[in-house]
Amino acid sequence: MSLHQPQHGDPIVAIATAPGKGGVGVVRFSFPSPSSFQAFCTAFCGKLPKPRLATLLTLRDFDQHAIDEGIALLFNAPASFTGENVLEFQGHGGQAVLQGVVGHALALARQLNIPLRHAMPGEFTQRAFLNDKLDLAQAEAVADLIDAGSIATAKAAAASLSGVFSKQVNALADRIVHLRLLLEATLDFPEEEIEFLEKADAKGQLADILNAHRQLLGAAQEGVKFRDGLQIVLVGEPNVGKSSLLNALAGEEIAIVSAIAGTTRDRIKQELNIRGVPLVLVDTAGLRDTADEVERIGIARTRKSVEEADLLLILKDATQGLQDALNTHLELPLHLPTITVLNKVDLLPKVPQLLNDVLPVSAKNGLGLEQLKDAILAKVGIAHTPDHGFMARQRHVDALMVCGQHLAVAHEFAQQDDRILDLFAEELRLAHDALGEITGRMLPDDLLGLIFSRFCIGK
Ligand X SMILES: Nc1nc2c(c(=O)[nH]1)N(C=O)[C@@H](CNc1ccc(C(=O)N[C@@H](CCC(=O)O)C(=O)O)cc1)CN2
Ligand Y SMILES: Nc1nc2c(ncn2[C@@H]2O[C@H](COP(=O)(O)OP(=O)(O)OP(=O)(O)O)[C@@H](O)[C@H]2O)c(=O)[nH]1
> According to the binding rule CB under 6 A, does residue 81 interact with ligand X?
yes
Residue 11 to residue 117: CA distance in whole angstroms: 7
With CB under 5 to 8 Å by kind, the binding choice for 363 among ligand Y, ligand X, none is: ligand Y
Residue 156 annotated in ligand binding: no
Annotated binding-site residue? 35 = no
Which one of ligand Y, ligand X, none interacts with residue 80, CB within 5 to 8 A by kind? ligand X
Residue 431 marked as a ligand binder:
no
C-alpha–C-alpha distance, residues 237 and 198, integer Å: 63
State the Rg of the chain over Cα. Answer: 28
Q: Which residues bind ligand Y (CB under 6 A)?
A: 236, 238-244, 285, 343-344, 346-347, 362-364
Give yes or no for residue 146 binding ligand X (CB under 6 A).
Answer: no
CA 36/CA 109 separation, integer angstroms: 9
Minimal distance in Å, beta carbon 274 to ligand X? 28
Q: Closer to ligand Y at the Cβ: 41 or 235?
A: 235
Q: Which does 133 bind (CB under 5 to 8 A by kind): ligand Y, ligand X, none?
A: ligand X
Nearer to ligand X, 82 or 270 (CB): 82
- Strands across the sheet containing 22-31: 55-60, 66-75, 85-93, 22-31, 12-15, 117-118
Q: What are the strands, taking DSSP E only, across 191-309?
A: 230-235, 269-274, 277-283
Residue pair 391/141 in contact by the 8 Å Cβ criterion: yes
Question: Using CB under 6 A, which of the segments 80-88, 224-232, 267-275, 348-356 binds ligand X?
Answer: 80-88
Asked if 80 is part of the footprint of ligand X (rule: CB under 6 A), the reply reads: yes
255 is in an annotated binding site: no
From the list 71-79, 191-199, 211-219, 439-447, the region that binds ligand X by CB under 6 A is 71-79
Q: How far is the CB of 37 from ligand X (least distance, A)?
A: 15
What single-letter amino acid sits at 277?
A: V
Closest distance to ligand Y from the beta carbon of 361 (Å)? 7
Reply yes or no: is the peptide bond before residue 78 cis, omega within 30 of 0: yes
Binding range to ligand X, per CB under 6 A, among 78-86, 247-255, 360-368, 407-415: 78-86
Q: What is the DSSP string of 95-126?
A: HHHHHHHHHHHHHHHHHTT---EEPPTTHHHH
Per CB under 6 A, 88 contacts ligand X: yes
Instruction: Please check whether residue 131 is in contact with residue 85, taking contact to mean a CB–CB distance below 8 angstroms.
Output: no
Residue 356 Cβ vs ligand Y, minimum distance, rounded to whole Å: 21
Between 121 and 236, whose beta carbon lies closer to ligand Y?
236
Taking Cα atoms as reference points, which of 149, 148, 151, 209 lies closest to residue 182?
209
Task: State yes or no: 244 annotated in a binding site.
Answer: yes
Q: How far is residue 262 from each of residues 45, 66, 119, 281, measured CA to CA in Å? A: 37, 35, 23, 19
Does residue 75 belong to the site contacting ligand X (CB under 6 A)? yes
**Listed ranges 79-87, 233-241, 265-273, 301-309: which one lies at the site for ligand X (CB under 6 A):** 79-87
- On whether 218 is known to bind a ligand per the annotation, the reply is no
Is 133 a binder of ligand X (CB under 6 A)?
Answer: yes
29 binds ligand X, rule: CB under 6 A: no
Backbone phi and psi for residue 66, each to the nearest 5 degrees, phi listed first: -70, 135
Q: Of all helices (H) and strands (E), which one includes residue 198?
A: helix 193-199
79 belongs to the binding site for ligand X (CB under 6 A): yes
Which of 143, 212, 251, 157 shows the shortest CA–CA distance to 431?
Answer: 212
Q: How far is CA 189 from CA 246, 331, 411, in A?
A: 66, 60, 21
Helix (H) or strand (E) holding 58: strand 55-60
Among ligand X, ligand Y, none, the one that 225 touches (CB under a kind-dependent 5 to 8 A) is none
Indicate the pairing of strand 230-235 with strand 117-118. unpaired
Smaller CB separation from ligand X, 133 or 396: 133
> Residue number with the shortest CB distance to ligand Y?
241
Which parts are annotated binding residues for Mg(2+)?
243, 264
Q: Residues interacting with ligand X, by CB under 6 A?
A: 75, 78-81, 88, 133
Which parts are annotated binding residues for (6S)-5-formyl-5,6,7,8-tetrahydrofolate?
28, 88, 133, 459
